[in-house]
Structure 1
Amino acid sequence: MNRWTPDPTFYASPRDAVQAPAEKLAYVAAFDRAAQRPDAIAVVDVDPDSPRYGGVVGWTDLPHLGDELHHFGWNACSSALCPTAAHPHVERRYLIVPGLRSSRIYVLDTKADPTRPEVVKVLQAEELAKHAGYSRPHTVHCGPEGIYLSALGGADDRDGPGGIALLDHTSFEVRGAWEADRGPQFLAYDFWWHLTRDVMVTSEWGTPSMIEDGLVGELLLGRKYGHALHFWDLRRRRHVQTVDLGDQHQMPLELRPAHDPTKTYGFVGVVISVEDLSASIWVWHRDGDRWAATKVITIPAEPADPALLPELLKPFGAVPPLVTDIDLSVDDRFLYVSCWGTGELKQYDVSDPFHPVETGSVRLGGIVGRTPHPAAPTQRLAGGPQMVEVSRDGRRVYVTNSLYGAWDDQFYPDGVGAWQAKLDVDVTAGGLTLDHRFFPHGDDFRGLRVHQTRLQGGDASSDSYCFP
């Protein structure tokens, strides 16, 4: 490729991205909970015309143990076309893969053989600590001028504050902490932005000591996990405003802003309310000259026989939905909500973001339901739809079943297993249908658990756009 020709997987607008060719491969983070084997990036064939469709066709072991791969992302994406900090010569070529427990960061090159990503650089925990002051790297987003990486912990055994580090586009070295003035922000999790409005949004989970040994009941009932959104001046890197959702709404995690750069709203999923075990979806938006957040969806807990529940839930006699991921289609029409506890993936039409309408639902797994996949109707599934990824054209949705090692063990103490499923979308009327042909699971992933999926050429949660 001529380095002055933009990568063909970069699109100036979400409208252009929706017309992109279908993905042929999916990259999946796989990890060993026992830390006795290397974690890996698995490559899955997602081309329905391929004889190996639904199979794991590539595998890259990482060179160390104990990483616990979680979220990862591309080094560059459509934001490279933004006029404020254009970098059209970079390529969507490298996967930036953090280890959430080890604080290492791996760079994998997918260009020579997309089914065999090659580890070309390893940033040790000391480099992130020394240059940015952070540990436990979590979420990766490709920005116009660099690679942004959120982190949950501080350096040198400090539990926090968490925040965002910036990596160089080409050398992948840690430039430093992104924040110039963090204000009251201490807890960290996800981040996204409205690029054309110079706005950053961040969410909250907990510090490493609050999450690494599982969900701590005393902290949850004490309302000590995150419950706020933070708004920042993106260019000045300064905290502007905190919007508290109320401390009963514990753990606002995944952020999904509108892809249309003329819009200034987005969605955040809240894992649980300590008042009734419900989960919720909120919309952030402008309210005059300030930011506000409005609850637009409530998903109630489901009553259950305590004998069927893990110890943590027995006193409540109910299964919480545990909304742990959401994703928004590139055309901003459908929002997908993973209810990991009940084992349900919900689809909402959010054409009017303040009045969502449920248009589809599929169940797989679940703490009590253990709903099987049609491809293996006698196999009761553990875990549930957790990480969800949507194709650029909005016609395909991929889900994987592991949340986080220690939390898997609490909610699915008999084992969470490993599986990935694909759903086909009716993009006209809404609705979801399980693809019976697509069900990599178990030994397909060599006994490792699977978390996030990234799609070749980009997906609904990897790119941001500067043109409508």
Structure 2
Amino acid sequence: MTLDPTFYRSPADAIAAPAERLAYIVAFDRSAQRPDALTVLDTDPGSPAYGTIVGWADLPTRGDELHHFGWNACSSAYAHAGHDTGGLSRRYLLLPGLRSSNVHVYDTQPDPRHPRLVRTVAADELAAKAGYSRPHTLHCGPDGVYLSCLGGAGEDGPGGIALLDHDTFDVVRAWETERGPQYLAYDAWWHLNQNTLVTSEWGTPSMIEDGLNPELLLGGEYGHALHFWDLDQGRHLQRVELGGQYQMVLELRPSHDPEATWGFVGVVVSTEDLSASVWRWHRDGGTWQADKVITVPAEPADPATLPPALQPFGAVPPLISDIDLSVDDRFLYVSCWGTGELKQFDVTDPAHPRETGSVRLGGITGRVPHPAAPGEPLSGGPQMVEVSRDGSRIYVTNSLYGSWDDQFYPDGVGAWLAKFDTDPDTGGGLTIDTRVFPHGDDFRGLRAHQVRLQGGDASSDSYCYR
């Protein structure tokens, strides 16, 4: 038994590891008439197939709407006795269906270009054993796979976390033992060495199913708080309110430094001015606090160029849908899906981010084309963002969620993936890699949602040692 070489003791070890040669992308059929798919992108610059789709695996079902997905195991194995001595490996990808509540498990071995379906965790097992539905986000943790779910079993809520076995993928139980005031769910992450888990809030299934509900938004009904938990005991410790105007507190990105006690979370929109924001949480003595450190304003626009949902406002909201923190904790990437912008911030001082780069593709009104296809205006915008372990390559996909795509891009969101390059050692900045742009027919009519990188990436690992 040997230890998986893609388990890294420290961020520095992850940064020094060999670069990814493949990326995995989930894509879904909005009409639910065809199977969703796990696709494979060649990311080896020396390969003749660089930048193209080289593998494809259809799901056995329809109507899943693949969303977030992830590995069965990662560097957090070092935090659990027995998992750091061999046998466990970063091998299986778990693909939750946000609409079906099924979880499909694919084996990336022996041929990583052709993943094989090995297990389907059915919706009824998730409901019966954990009491949840609508699985959204997963992270490989020290004692299992933590699967964050938006809905309850047979009810709209509360959402929460189901714990799955690392090896068998059986649903073990609900992770929470004392829920406290938490009701809405979205992401879950942690500070392993601080025994702290953090959760964020979006909404229950009925609140998101048919797109953004203006009445719920203006009524402050979407999530606007963070929750802090005892990781070992599953016990709620503290709720941190951001303010009722800050709606949809989504992606959590804790510092990779295992001794640090801060992280960032993205907020989709403010009902005061349609701006979006990024907040830093941090521990102050025995309590947790959160402060807004980045504000991205809405951009004025001719109402005639806007989708019906935005015409009364005469502006394009940035709609921060994802953020990602580089493994060295130096750069934060912010996806503004509404305006079609990917922003880069130097967060060496996490309390005072400094913008160092920006690139635009797509956008509700901009429709900025990719340099590889200058005559093709793009729909959608940078949405999910993933950063390579060494921090020099950034991948983005353009679809958010089927009904939300249709609401903000009613003429069609299309399908595309783009790659950006940066040099962390020279202060950042972003350039577009014109060789990597799978789009349109490359995805066979499906919409591309999220990327995972072979061997791990910035948003799927947590470390135990400096």
Q: Normalising to structure 1: TM-score of the pair?
A: 0.98
State the partner residue of 2:251: 254
Match in the other structure for 2:235: 238
Amino acid at match of 2:303: P
Residue 88 of structure 1 deviates from its aligned partner by 3.7
CA contact (8 A) 1:402 1:418 kept: yes
What corresponds to 2:149 in structure 1?
151
Q: Distance in 1 between matches of 2:434 and 2:177?
A: 50
- Structure 2 Cα separation of the partners of residues 329 and 169 of structure 1: 26
Rounded to whole Å, the distance in 2 between the matches of 1:422 and 1:340 is 16
Is 2:17 the partner of 1:23?
no
Cα distance in 2, alignment partners of residues 196 and 384 from structure 1:
36
- Contact 2:80 / 2:143 at 8 angstroms: preserved in 1? no
Which residue in 2 is equivalent to 1:363?
360
Residue of structure 1 equivalent to 2:447? 449
Query: SS where residue 406 of structure 1 aligns?
Result: helix
Q: Deviations over 1:113-162 (max 9, x none)?
A: 10110000011100000000000001010001111100000002x00000
Residue 171 of structure 1: aligned partner: 168
In 2, are the aligned partners of 1:7 and 1:88 still within 8 Å (CA)? no
Residues 232 and 238, structure 1, Cα contact 8 Å, conserved in 2 = yes
After TM superposition, give the deviation of residue 83 of structure 1 in Å.
Answer: 5.2
Task: Give the match's secondary structure for 1:116.
Answer: coil
Within 2, Cα distance between the matches of 1:210 and 1:393?
38
> What are the superposed Cα offsets for residues 66-117 of structure 1, whole Å, 9 maximum, x if unpaired?
0000000000001112256744420100001100000000110001110110
Tell me which amino acid in the other structure corresponds to 1:273.
S
Return 423-432 or 102-111, whichever deviates more: 423-432
The C-alpha deviation readout for 1:30-89, integer Å capped at 9, x for no partner, is 000000000000101111111011110000000000000000000000111225674442
SS of corresponding position for 2:312: helix
CA distance in 1, matches of 2:82, 2:104: 25
> Which of 348, 364, 370 in structure 2 is aligned with 1:373?
370
Long gaps (5+) in structure 2: none
| Residue matched to 2:260 | 263
Counterpart amino acid of residue 12 in structure 2: R
Residue 54 (1) aligns with residue 51 (2): yes
SS in 2 for 1:293: strand
Residue 33 of structure 1 is aligned with which of 20, 30, 42?
30
Identity %: 72
Of the candidates 404, 413, 418, which is equivalent to residue 416 of structure 1? 413
**Which structure 1 residue ranges, 5 or more long, are not aligned?**
none
Report the residue type matching 2:382 in the other structure. P
Q: Is 1:111–2:109 an aligned residue pair?
A: yes
Counterpart of 1:315 (choices 312, 315, 324) is 312
Distance 1:36 1:182, change over 3 A: same
Residue 163 (structure 2) pairs with residue 186 (structure 1): no
Residue equivalent to 1:352: 349
Equivalents in 2 of 1:288, 1:463: separation in Å? 27
CA contact (8 A) 1:87 1:145 kept: no
* Equivalent in the alignment of 2:340: 343
Q: Deviations over 1:366-390 (max 9, x none)?
A: 0000000000001000000000000
Instruction: Between 265-274 and 85-94, report the one with greater CA deviation.
Output: 85-94
The answer to whether the aligner puts 1:96 opposite 2:94 as a matched pair is yes
Match for 1:206 among 200, 203, 212? 203
User: Which residue of the partner structure matches residue 218 of structure 2?
Assistant: 221
SS of the aligned residue for 1:316 comes to coil
Superposed displacement of residue 356, structure 1: 0.3
Is 1:126 the counterpart of 2:96 in the alignment?
Answer: no
Partner of 1:273: 270
The alignment covers a number of residue pairs equal to 464
Alignment partners' CA distance in 1, 2:319 and 2:192: 30
Give the Å deviation of 1:346: 0.1
The aligned amino acid for 1:413 is P
1:162 aligned onto 2:125: no
Q: 2:422 matched to 1:425? A: yes
CA distance in 1, matches of 2:84, 2:97: 27
Report if aligned partners of 1:85, 1:144 keep a CA contact under 8 Å in 2. no
Aligned partner of 2:149: which letter? A
Query: In 2, are the aligned partners of 1:80 and 1:88 still within 8 Å (CA)?
Result: no
- The separation in 1 between residues aligned to 2:85 and 2:76, in whole angstroms, is 9
CA distance in 2, matches of 1:247, 1:330: 32
- Alpha-carbon spacing, 1:83–1:153, altered in 2? closer, same or farther (3 Å): closer
Q: TM-score, normalized by length of structure 2?
A: 0.99
